[in-house]
Amino acid sequence: MFAIDDLVVATKGVDLGQMVVVGTSAGGHYVHVKVDGATLTYPARDLQKA
């Protein structure tokens, strides 16, 4: 599970380098991250801590 402000990288999909966790979905299956001023949503299984 990821916490707010954790640094993560994508293991699958678009690799944008290090991203900062800004939230999670209610079930924890999706993680909201911020990178270069944009907020994106990734499946939690496709991210790992940086």
pLDDT per residue as tens, the chain (50 positions): 899 999 999 999 888 999 999 999 989 899 999 999 999 999 999 999 99
Show the 3-state SS of the chain. Answer: CCCCCCEEEECCCCCCCCEEEEEECCCCCEEEEEECCEEEEEEHHHEEEC
What does the alpha-carbon distance between residue 10 and residue 47 come to, in Å, rounded to a whole number?
5
In the prediction, which pLDDT does 13 show? 83
| 20 touches 6 (CB < 8 A) | yes
In the prediction, which pLDDT does 1 show? 84
Torsion, CA 37, CA 5, CA 25, CA 32, rounded to 10: 20
In the prediction, which pLDDT does 45 show? 95
**Whole-prediction pTM value?**
0.89
In the prediction, which pLDDT does 40 show? 94
